[in-house]
Amino acid sequence: MKETVAIIGAGMGGLSAAITLAAAGFGVTVIEAAQEPGGKLRQVSSGGRLLDAGPTVLTMKWVFDDLLSRCGTSLADEIGLDKCDVIGRHYWQGGQQLDLFADVAESRRAVADFAGAREAAGFQRFAEDSARVYQLLERSFIDASRPNPISLSARIGLHRPNALLALKPFSALWPTLESYFSDRRLIQLFGRYATYCGSSPYLAPATLMLVAHVEQAGVWTVKGGMHALARRMADIARDFGVEFHFDEKVASIDKDGSGKAVRGVTTDRERHIPAQNVIYNGDVAALSHLLGDAPSPRGGQQRSLSALVACGVASPTGVPLSHHTVFFSENYGEEFDAVFGRSLPPDDPTVYVCAQDRPAQRDGSSAVGSGAAERIYCLMNMPANGDSHGYSKSEVDRCLSSMERRLRRNGLRLDLDRQTTAITTPDRFAKLYPGTGGALYGMASHGWMASFSRPAARGPLGGLYLAGGSVHPGPGVPMAALSGKIAAERLMADMALHGRSRRGAITGGMRMRSATADVSPSR
């Protein structure tokens, strides 16, 4: 009989943990409140068409290749991928445009044409330093059990002070960018990387400049959309015997007689699933409720960004879109002061547009044909106040109007039908992801200690482990996948340490997939 692990949540962290454990011979049961896998990798319908309504960017492909190598496969063998040539198109007032490319030299030429040779030289230094920061942190922090400042220093090497200083540990992102660029548009562009973890560029640490290297190392689009990635990973997990229960919510994590260890979970169908180990793949803000404990204080940490996401079908005109396009506001500081300082929607938001029918290549033409209606995803930053504020129709209309106004000022005409557009506001996100208030990235990464403040893989009870974007190593699709792998590896290491055998585990930690498994990339 196999050792059984219960996993709460079929988001990316839960799927990664399930694959890691099942490939090592464990029995795994995943309980998911939604009707399908993916968590934040969700889909909505508008105008009779399906659109991704969550993360739209796939980076750090090595994370998934490493995970799937345990199953004798790779990401490209399982799903169709297209590498982006244009990793991002950016517009400012009046249609000023700058594209960034996967090739650093080409991006430098584009920056030179846009802002001059001095700014291009600053970009080259920035690209080199962001690569250095990433290389220092990839194995010492990102793909490791959560370190503290001392252990991180030891991993990098206390005898390498210059390497430690290269991380700019005590600097905020925005002023650090001012040492590379004098053009405020470029500072605004690269400062936007703070929003990738739901934070303000004025308060987030300079280490987030590593995002530039992550993108330059490769951005991919997934055939069938990002939700297809979650479905495929769930299929792989099933091939290894993982059992899924969808449309069923975990009501409690059950404790043993001592109150110090888990003994399984109970669902809203009053079904008890016994397990000596549980992995919780949800926001840690909701964990105390499942444990029957009083909510724990956040220690002054601020919630990360929420969003208003509008997904619909439209025929955009004006400046050409790429797959990923950003339309910057005129006053970036005011935007973040509104969201984080006053907990209000910004009057002049920066708007991210994902044209889901367009390839991320140079021409950017729509796959459905010029002038035809295409699937459009629009996002503006919002405060994570969804558990204390319900957004009325008039408030939503004002937000949509402010988005449309910014798009027009930057050269794009986009008329989404408000009757058919699928709109998600912070209060809706709060219901989708309990305990968050609509925050999409856990706690904000503000201050130099923020990265060390996220919970580690071990939970507060024996046999309880944590995964997802609110724990180490942080938010984002590849990071959540890493968190699931780290949680599963921590679980297995703890079992080995305590001498508990995995009854039924497969020798060597590798199982053969079912002979009837369909591994077609088109699936």
At 341-359, the pLDDT tens digits run 999 999 999 999 999 999 8
pLDDT above 80 (res 364): no
* Cα–Cα distance, 251 to 452 (Å, whole number): 30
Please, what sign has the CA dihedral across residues 488, 40, 307, 383? negative
* Cα–Cα distance, 200 to 215 (Å, whole number): 19
Mean pLDDT of the chain: 88
Q: Say if 433 falls within a structural domain.
A: no
Output the pLDDT for position 147: 53
Q: Say if 291 falls within a structural domain.
A: yes
CATH code, domain carrying 246:
3.50.50.60
pLDDT above 80 (res 500): no
Q: What is the average per-residue pLDDT within 155-166?
A: 44
Q: Among the listed ranges 73-87, 162-176, 261-275, 282-296, which one has the minimum average pLDDT value?
A: 162-176
Residue in 147, 430, 484, 141 with CA at minimum distance from that of residue 303? 430
Q: What is the average per-residue pLDDT within 108-131?
A: 96
Q: Are residues 293 and 238 in the same domain?
A: yes
pLDDT above 90 (res 261): yes
Output the pLDDT for position 92: 98
> Number of structural domains, the chain?
2
Output the pLDDT for position 142: 60
Q: What is the average per-residue pLDDT within 141-147?
A: 57
Q: Which residue has the higher pLDDT, 161 or 275?
A: 275
Q: Are residues 244 and 280 in the same domain?
A: yes
Q: Are residues 136 and 208 in the same domain?
A: yes
Q: Say if 391 falls within a structural domain.
A: no
Q: How far is CA 349 from the centre of its chain?
A: 21
- For residue 505, name the pLDDT band (cuts at 50, 70, 90): very low
SS3 359: coil
Output the pLDDT for position 508: 37
Output the pLDDT for position 293: 86
* Cα–Cα distance, 24 to 257 (Å, whole number): 29
Q: Say if 68 falls within a structural domain.
A: no
- For residue 388, name the pLDDT band (cuts at 50, 70, 90): very high
Please provide the DSSP assignment of 33-86 as one string.
SSSSSBTTS-EEEETTEEEE-S---B--HHHHHHHHHTTT--HHHHS-EEE-SE
- For residue 498, name the pLDDT band (cuts at 50, 70, 90): confident
Q: Are residues 111 and 211 in the same domain?
A: yes
Q: Are residues 149 and 211 in the same domain?
A: yes
Which of 164, 198, 216 is a domain's end point?
216
- For residue 472, name the pLDDT band (cuts at 50, 70, 90): confident
pLDDT above 70 (res 232): yes
Output the pLDDT for position 169: 58
Domain extent at residue 116: 105-216
Which of 216, 245, 277 is a domain's end point?
216
Q: Say if 210 falls within a structural domain.
A: yes
Q: What is the average per-residue pLDDT within 460-484?
A: 95
- For residue 406, name the pLDDT band (cuts at 50, 70, 90): very high
Output the pLDDT for position 503: 39
Q: Are residues 114 and 193 in the same domain?
A: yes
* Cα–Cα distance, 379 to 400 (Å, whole number): 10
Q: Say if 131 falls within a structural domain.
A: yes
User: Residues 6 or more apart from 290 whose CB is under 8 A from it?
Assistant: 8, 250, 251, 252, 253, 280
pLDDT above 80 (res 156): no
Looking at the chain, the whole-number percentage of residues with pLDDT higher than 70 is 85
Output the pLDDT for position 370: 64
Which of 154, 188, 216 is a domain's end point?
216
Output the pLDDT for position 368: 59
Please, what sign has the CA dihedral across residues 163, 169, 171, 174? positive
Q: Are residues 188 and 251 in the same domain?
A: no
- For residue 74, name the pLDDT band (cuts at 50, 70, 90): very high
* Cα–Cα distance, 114 to 283 (Å, whole number): 41
The highest-confidence range among 81-90, 136-145, 495-504, by mean pLDDT, is 81-90
Output the pLDDT for position 160: 46
Q: Are residues 110 and 212 in the same domain?
A: yes
DSSP H/E element including 22: helix 12-23
Q: Say if 320 falls within a structural domain.
A: no
Q: pTM higher than 0.85, yes or no?
A: yes
CA distances (Å), 124 to each of 107, 127, 353, in order? 9, 5, 27
Q: Which residue has the higher pLDDT, 446 or 148?
A: 446
Q: Are residues 449 and 473 in the same domain?
A: yes
DSSP H/E element including 426: helix 426-432
Secondary structure of 98-148 in HEC code, one letter for each residue: EEEECCHHHHHHHHHHHHCHHHHHHHHHHHHHHHHHHHHHHHHHHCCCCCC
Tens-place pLDDT, residues 2-57: 678 999 999 999 999 999 999 999 999 999 999 999 999 999 999 899 999 999 99
Pairing of strands 272-274, 374-382: unpaired
Please provide the DSSP assignment of 436-491 as one string.
STT-SSSB---STTHHHHS--SB-SSBTEEEESTTSTT-SSHHHHHHHHHHHHHHH
Tens-place pLDDT, residues 290-340: 999 877 655 557 999 999 999 999 999 999 999 999 999 999 999 999 999
Q: Say if 359 falls within a structural domain.
A: no
Q: Are residues 246 and 203 in the same domain?
A: no
Q: What is the average per-residue pLDDT within 427-431?
A: 98
Please, what sign has the CA dihedral across residues 407, 413, 418, 422? negative
Output the pLDDT for position 143: 57
Pairing of strands 86-92, 324-327: parallel
